[in-house]
Amino acid sequence: MAIREILVVPHPVLKEVSAPVEGGVTDELRALMDDMLETMYAAPGIGLAAVQIGVPKRVIVMDLAGKDEPPAPQVFVNPEITWASEELASYEEGCLSVPEIFDNVERPAKVKIKYLNRAGDLIEEEAEGLYAVCIQHEMDHLEGVVFLDHLSRLKRDRAVAKVKKLVKAA
């Protein structure tokens, strides 16, 4: 396992649409997932899409366990939203590719998703609350969308300028 570099806005790879994973879940793909989890935990964060480490494949990792709970890593290969509620919910989001920026984003309150898990099994389930927010946020990355794209142009431009300044200072 290895900690990978997380790309930050406005890196052009973050705007790429990720390609579907072909050939199912392989040991090579599991090694990528392990690197992604290690990178996410080190950041620290609760979700990471492969494109954020420069690999534009439809792979996501998440762990929504609380501080005093044991780790509960999840992996999603070729995830799809098959249904979204009309009811919306607003949640303050942040992103490892947009360090130190947080803002409210409105998304469907519930979604149904299907994906392949680490073993390659097809899973279909409903997500709500933080799970729904996080899976939609990470799936946006697979389409070349960062959460800033949900904000007004002014807020987005200010956030990108702030991130560029942070990166320059590092």
Residues labelled catalytic:
138
Query: Are the CB atoms for 122 and 78 separated by under 8 Å?
Result: no
Strand, coil or helix: 75: strand
Question: Which residues, in sequence order, are bridge partners of residue 115?
Answer: 123
Strand, coil or helix: 93: strand
> Residue 11: which of 151, 153, 144, 114 has the closest Cα?
144
Q: In what order do the strands lie in the sheet with 74-84?
A: 47-49, 59-62, 74-84, 110-116, 122-128
Six-digit token pair at 118? 């680490």
Six-digit token pair at 9? 């806005």
Q: Which long-range contacts (CB under 8 A, 24 or more apart) does 64-72 make?
A: 64/130, 64/131, 64/134, 71/41
End-to-end CA, the chain: 25
